[in-house]
A and B are shown apart, each in its own frame.
Chain A
Amino acid sequence: MMDRRPDRLGMNSLLLIAALSLAPLVPRLPAWIVLVCAGCLLWRFAVENRAWPGPGRVLRLGLTLVVVAAVLEYYGTLLGRDAGSALLASLLALKFLEVRKLRDCMVALFLCYLLLLAIFLYSQSPAIALYSAVVVVLSMATLVRLNHSTGTDLRYALGLASTLSLKAVPLMLIMFMLFPRIPGTLWGFPGERDGDVTGMSEVMEPGSVRHLSRSYAPVFRVEFDGPVPARSQMYWRALVLWWTDGRRWERGVTSSALDPGLSFARQGAPIKYTVTLEPSRKPWLPALDLPIVAPRGTRTRPGYLLEHRRVSRERQRYTLVSYTRYRTDALDRVERELALQLPAQLSLRVRALARALRRESTDDLGVARAAMDYFRQQPFFYTLEPPLLGDDPVDEFLFSTRRGFCGYFAAAFVTLMRVAGIPSRIVQGYLGGEYNPAGDYWIVRQADAHAWAEVWLPSRGWVRMDPTAAVAPERVELGIDAVRELTLRGFELGQLSSDAVRRLIELGWFAGAWRTMRLYWDLANLQWHRSVLGYDQQRQRHLLRSLRLPELSWRGLLLTLALVLAAAMLLLAVTTRRARRADPVQASYRAFCRKLGRAGIQRHPAEGALAFAARTVAARPDLKASVDSVTALYLRIRYGGLSGVDPVQRLRQQVARFRPRPARQCA
């Protein structure tokens, strides 16, 4: 049986399954592995369909050794997620060079299943889950096709595979509920380099935020519990940068030197909200200006910042409380020194400008406002594609290019303030976000990354000053999407009146629908994460408790699971035994008899089909043609040794089409 050779259709569907299983891994694999895989599959396809010669034993062995060695060379190991899945993918493809018998096909197919599992080490999104489910059903159909005689058609195989999968759903749910959860996520895989988690870095240089502005990846989602601040007030602070060399801005400070407290005078009403943070390799936890308590698992950092105690690859949820109106305490000496630090060289033009601003007003607030006015009145433009800057970026930006985005403005502003003797610093974080009306929450993406300035005023403490808002209020009020939309159309912010901007960014029907769809998809993602991936040990316990099941230890849970599985298998065995007796032919004929029964003609259990047909026709001559046809076909299959899928399907179709009208009531 296992030595049988699969036919061409079976082989081609197996190749398709392999390609489908490999596809999601393609972006994660190096290009040469993708090429090897594609080459092997195509070669096999050509062998099968174009009668190409297959590779010899020596070539196969050589190729395998070369590929394994190359994976080892590329990753430095054969273990771990990346190297492991690369190895698995290439070995699956190489397996196709020697697939000959049914046994080989089985091995290849199970490798496909393993590969589908490996994809979940990278992403557990609902899209991937759905995709895998579809591929699993398809591969099951292939399994059916390979194991059945060559006469099986694909539709039948697909139907059987779908039925089997549907039958597996309850079992899957039980397994999902009861399988013992280890603390942590199901798919957490520690210590892997992760290319796809980008984020803000601790160093700001001209242009460093730009790559973020193109990334649509969500950073965190926020649900407000109570009043929601205006979008222009949603400054999510993540990082504070103190030190600069004129070009780079860094934190440049040891944590012990500064007070990491969160003490400040609160004004107005608190804002309560819950942040769901996407996994990232960065420790900071964005919070609305300014948070008052550090939730569990986090600590405070100087500059009213929150940080995780441990970097985690899991999605995390925090409940935070912030006050958007506040007054901070006095500066200490170290802070003041840091907040006034200046690069070694600074151009005379910058110093002259600062002095001019200083002369505008006697108090610091007036100076800061004058600087803001300077940005507003001079022809500065907000653009996501600014010209490159040379050795003295602040000077060049202020006097020649005058084009840039948040970081440029913040850096120039803070530099001017410091020259003017006002303590100031750059804050990095996110501004605004997108409201999802479907789920009543806000999505903040990498593209919403922002940098702004804070100046310290003796009367008010640290005060937020956002020079970007002076140049491009649209960025603050309408969000980054509007800015991007305008930039794509060739406009620079600062040129247009806000009404014109609003008109321009008004979404067309299609774009609006697309946006709504995106928001719903985001909601689906969130729910998936909460209810499926977020089903952890704690929630499992909770569920068991709410089902009034005794709280079970690991061992108890496993035992329960084994028992439930055993029961399920027993049930399955019983039902399949019954199903074997009711083979499709019998099932069709029974359906036929049921239909006639509803029309008033009952078949006795001991009545032969022919006798029943004769009796039926005697009672209902109008049904003669269809009854005779169904009966003849049924008898031929059941007693005449007619086999194959086609007659069975014909019988099924005939029975399906058979709709006897109920007999007319005799008066």
Chain B
Amino acid sequence: MLAEVIARAGEVVLGKERQVRLGLACLLARGHLLIEDLPGVGKTTLAHVLARVLGLQFSRIQFTSDLLPADILGVSVYQPASGDFCFHPGPIFAQLILADEINRATPKTQSALLEAMEERQVTSDGTTQTLPEPFFVIATQNPRHLIGTFPLPESQLDRFLMRIRMGYPDRQAERALLKGRDRRELLQTMEPVIDGALLLALQGAVTRIHCSDALLDYVQDLIVSTRGSELFADGLSPRAGLALMHGAQAWALLEGRDMVLPEDVQVVAPSVMGHRLCPAEGSTQGSSEVRIEELLAAVPIP
């Protein structure tokens, strides 16, 4: 069933199975996903596809520098007929939110979204509104063209379980893309593979994937190694450790296993750790993902 989800998504997002899987794993682990790459590589398509195949309510918010929190959360509007204030829910009241170019908005607006992501509820004018279940945010961010943007601070980045990069498609995939139908059209024809209830059940199953002591040893070894490493400015937080474990659990489920293996940790580690680890001052070579691969190669599996 999950394989079918991946296969269907792969029909649209060509040659990006790894990214599709990671995105799916992120959602299964009840995490939010940050996609960082240049425009036009399929970030939005990926979010769309996930929403379609999982049968989720989809809502897209294009972030701009003049976007206000109320534009996301919704506003209370005076109703002359009844004389009451009535809450008009904003676009955030959907199961899957695509927050496009999140770094274009002001910090105030960003934090409104991020707060909602963390609390899974919205408080406006003293009333608290619960967000629908399941609730995912897929945010995209353009790493270039930093003029007029507000890069997310580290504390905010931590709210995202994973950060993935799309990357260019390989030659074969690109050719298929060029030859094939329009992606938008394809999206419209996609039928959901699973529904919301099943998705919730799968999320529950993720937490029951077995993590043995030996695996926790390995996770701890990894975390400890980032704390003393010269490659990174700071080490991973305990929350990052939890994120790593949840991500690995979700990956194991995707692999059809009932236990987490060190390989699962290794697969999700670059995505989970990449945005949480700043390169140390003076070390400039390589992206954070490359550095994390180095780290993984250096920490033996106990």
Binding site for B on A (CB under 8 A): 581, 604-611, 635-636, 638-641
Contacts and interface: CB of A to CB of B under 8 A. Distances in A.
A607 B299 CA distance: 9
B152 interface: no
Contact of A641 (B212, B297, B301, B302): B212
Interface string B243-272: 000000000000000111111001000000
Contacts of B296: 606
Contacts of A611: 263, 266
A443 B84 CA distance: 122
A251 B154 CA distance: 111
Interface string B132-162: 0000000000000000000000000000000
Contact of B298 (A581, A606, A636): A606
B229 to A, nearest CB: 14
A640 B258 contact: yes
B215 interface: yes
A611 B265 CA distance: 12
Contact of A638 (B214, B298, B299): B214
Contact of B263 (A581, A604, A610, A640): A610
Given A610-B263, A611-B263, A640 B300 contact: no
Contacts of A610: 261, 263
Contacts of A581: 302
Interface centre among A581, A606, A635, by most chain B C-beta atoms within 10 angstroms, is: A606
Interface centre among A605, A610, A639, by most chain B C-beta atoms within 10 angstroms, is: A639
A595 B299 CA distance: 23
Assign chain B's interface to a size class. 10 to 19
A639 B245 CA distance: 13
A610 B252 CA distance: 12
B210 interface: yes
A608 B259 contact: no
B212 A608 contact: no
A635 B259 contact: yes
Given A610-B261, A635-B261, A640 B210 contact: yes
A608 B262 contact: yes
A639 B214 contact: yes
A638 B212 contact: yes
Interface centre among B215, B296, B301, by most chain A C-beta atoms within 10 angstroms, is: B301
Nearest to B302: A581
A472 B214 CA distance: 84
Contact of A639 (B210, B297, B298, B300): B210
B210 A641 contact: yes
Given A604-B297, A605-B301, A640-B210, 19 more contacts: A605-B300, A606-B298, A606-B300, A606-B301, A608-B266, A608-B301, A609-B262, A610-B261, A611-B266, A635-B259, A638-B212, A639-B210, A639-B212, A639-B214, A639-B215, A639-B259, A640-B212, A640-B259, A641-B259
Contact of B260 (A604, A607, A636, A639): A639
Interface string B286-302: 00000000001111111
Contacts of B260: 639
Contacts of B261: 608-610, 635, 639
B301 A607 contact: yes
Contacts, number: 44
> A-B pairs with the 3 shortest C-beta distances?
A605-B300, A608-B263, A640-B259
8 contacts: A581-B302, A606-B266, A606-B300, A608-B266, A608-B301, A611-B266, A638-B212, A639-B214
Nearest to B295: A606
Is chain B's binding surface mostly helix, strand, loop or mixed?
mixed
Contacts of B262: 608-609, 639
A233 B237 CA distance: 97
Contacts of A609: 261-262, 301
Contacts of A639: 210, 212, 214-215, 259-262
Interface in B188-203: none
Contacts of B263: 608, 610-611
A449 to B, nearest CB: 73
A611 B261 CA distance: 10
Contacts of B212: 638-641
Contacts of B266: 606, 608, 611
Contacts of A604: 297
A608 B251 CA distance: 15
A96 to B, nearest CB: 40
A640 B214 CA distance: 10
A611 B296 CA distance: 14
B118 to A, nearest CB: 31
A604 B263 CA distance: 13
A635 B258 CA distance: 11
Contacts of B298: 606
A506 B97 CA distance: 108
A610 B300 CA distance: 14
Nearest to A605: B300
A604 B299 CA distance: 10
A229 to B, nearest CB: 76
A68 B258 CA distance: 62
B215 to A, nearest CB: 5
Contacts of B215: 639
A581 B173 CA distance: 47
A641 B214 CA distance: 10
A639 B296 CA distance: 19
B253 to A, nearest CB: 14
Contacts of A641: 210, 212, 259
A410 B43 CA distance: 123
A638 B211 CA distance: 10
B214 A606 contact: no
A638 B301 CA distance: 12
A605 B300 CA distance: 5
Contacts of A638: 212, 214
B210 A606 contact: no
Contacts of B259: 635-636, 639-641
A606 B297 contact: yes
A606 B298 CA distance: 7
A502 to B, nearest CB: 78
A610 B301 CA distance: 12
B264 to A, nearest CB: 9
Contacts of A605: 300-301
A581 B300 CA distance: 14
Nearest to A581: B302
A607 B215 CA distance: 13
B87 to A, nearest CB: 48
B21 to A, nearest CB: 16
B282 to A, nearest CB: 26
Given A638-B212, A639-B212, A641-B210, A606 B258 contact: no
Contacts of A608: 261-263, 266, 301
Contacts of A640: 210, 212, 258-259
Contacts of B299: 606
Nearest to B297: A606
Nearest to B210: A641
B209 to A, nearest CB: 10
Nearest to B214: A638
A607 B300 CA distance: 7
Contacts of A636: 259
A379 to B, nearest CB: 93
B302 to A, nearest CB: 8
Interface string B214-246: 110000000000000000000000000000000
A636 B262 CA distance: 13
Nearest to A640: B259
A581 B302 CA distance: 9
Contacts of A607: 301
Interface string B47-73: 000000000000000000000000000
A639 to B, nearest CB: 5
A635 B215 CA distance: 11
B256 to A, nearest CB: 13
A635 B263 CA distance: 11
A639 B261 CA distance: 6
Nearest to A614: B263
